[in-house]
Amino acid sequence: MILDANERSFPPFSLTRLLTTCFGRGNGEKVCILIDLPNPADIEDYKFLEDETLSIQNYGHEVFYKGFKAGALDEMNWTGGDIFAYKETGGSNLDMEDDCYDPDGNHLSLDRDIYTKYDIILTVSTFSATAPLTAKCKEFGFRGATLHGLNQIILDTGLAVDYEVVSAEAEKLRLGLTKADRFEIDFEVERKVYTLILHTNGQEAQKSHGLCPPGKPDVANLPAGEVYFVPESAEGVFPFKYDESTIGLLHVEDGKIVKSQFVYGDYAEIEDHNRRLKEDPMIGALGELGFGTQVLPFSGRDIQDEKILGTIHVATGRDDHLGGNITPDLFKEHANASHDDVLYAPHKTPEIRLQQARMIRGEQTEILIEHYKPSKYMVDLLEG
């Protein structure tokens, strides 16, 4: 098995191959593209294309919107292919405002004009919309995909793969991890080791695998490729990288981060985090534990990098889109009801060494990752 993405070759990106694999053969479904903008009215006459900082949204226009107009829509046997903009939320998985606009400048409603009229919704955005769209798809019955942070590396690799294969490999790892009692993760920072313990209590593992076939409302994350759990409780200490110069230690009790402890860098960031934890304790709730399943190059975007085999991520905040019970109404402020992945990967957190991640299931203890490399147990599952 090739474990180094540099040794792997990827086929050229194909919009129709990606969408056919993920959504199935078309049957006249109506599709649209959503993008987020600081000022959503800037979609009028495609004014946003003049802003070089909006490269993600540019990909939504150039790859998906123009791709549909160039024949992909007919090849998919889909209709529509329209594009709309909504106001960026400013945070990961925060609920979206209902207002949206079309290229003609019309002021529309997501609930009234989009969710009720389109069967498939593809969202190319700066901020993840997976959680709010998952809630909306259950309410309105559409299918969709979220592709936040899209860049060229992701197009050439994470979106060029065969998602039937990705799904099958994710299932192998899911079966190898499911019904675990707990996971223990050892982190080393500044030559000291800290352990985070997450209790899953025999929970059935879930997978993000990219397939969203007809018949069931759902929203896929693309790129996909992870096995994840919604922890039922957690305790311990784990390091957190605030920025390139600041590291803190997050202390966890009863499933929530209760305080941050200064290690080095800007002490004001630690103080600010502790203030926010005190004002709204739910922002410290641990809502996810995820393991990447794909061999991909690092893209600099968490949506792909958290799917890489050998990485691990813990998320804070809402987890209702994952089947958990942490819903936006539990937070004191709307702006706090986010779902934020904390990714541990060699390119992103080189200051933090992931010494080991272990699974405990009854009398069975298995090493899963050491030093950001998948263990023999994980590789054997994939090769089985």
CA dist., res. 277 & res. 272, Å (int):
9
- pLDDT score at 102: 98
User: SS3 of 118, please?
Assistant: coil
Give strand ranges (E) for 38-158: 79-87, 99-101, 107-109, 120-124, 143-146
Q: How far apart are the first and last CA of the chain?
A: 11
CA dist., res. 287 & res. 321, Å (int):
10
- What is the mean predicted confidence (pLDDT) over 307-327? 95
- What is the mean predicted confidence (pLDDT) over 6-28? 97
CA distances from 32 to 35, 115, 155, 172, 333 (A): 10, 10, 19, 33, 31
Q: Which residues contact 367 (CB under 8 A, 6 or more apart)?
A: 356, 357, 358, 375, 377
Contact at 8 Å (CB) between 85 and 36? Answer: yes
Q: Provide the residue type at 254 as one letter.
A: D
CA distances from 3 to 216, 289, 308, 359 (A): 34, 22, 10, 21
- pLDDT score at 349: 97
CA dist., res. 348 & res. 212, Å (int):
30
The structure's pTM equals 0.96
CA dist., res. 196 & res. 202, Å (int):
18
- pLDDT score at 75: 97
Confidence of residue 216 (pLDDT cuts 50, 70, 90): very high
Task: Tell me how many degrees the CA angle 132-223-297 measures, rounded to the nearest 5.
Answer: 140
Confidence of residue 40 (pLDDT cuts 50, 70, 90): very high
Confidence of residue 113 (pLDDT cuts 50, 70, 90): very high
- pLDDT score at 154: 98
3-state helix, strand, coil in the chain (%, to 5): 30, 35, 35
Average pLDDT, rounded, for the chain: 97
Question: Which is nearest to 301 in space by CA: 313, 289, 284?
Answer: 313
Maximum distance among all Cα pairs of the chain, rounded to whole angstroms: 63
Contact at 8 Å (CB) between 199 and 234? Answer: yes
- pLDDT score at 318: 95
Q: If you search the block for the tokens 């600010």, which residue do you land on?
A: 272
CA dist., res. 133 & res. 34, Å (int):
11
List strands edge to edge, sheet with 339-344: 206-208, 226-229, 286-292, 312-317, 339-344
Q: What percent of the chain has pLDDT over 70?
A: 100
- pLDDT score at 301: 97
Q: Is the peptide bond before 239 cis (omega within 30 degrees of 0)?
A: no
- pLDDT score at 16: 97
- What is the mean predicted confidence (pLDDT) over 274-279? 98
- What is the mean predicted confidence (pLDDT) over 307-326? 95
CA dist., res. 64 & res. 33, Å (int):
7
Q: Provide the residue type at 284 as one letter.
A: G
Q: If you search the block for the tokens 């298995």, which residue do you land on?
A: 366
Q: What is the CA radius of gyration of the chain?
A: 21
Confidence of residue 189 (pLDDT cuts 50, 70, 90): very high
Structure tokens at 85: 């903009």
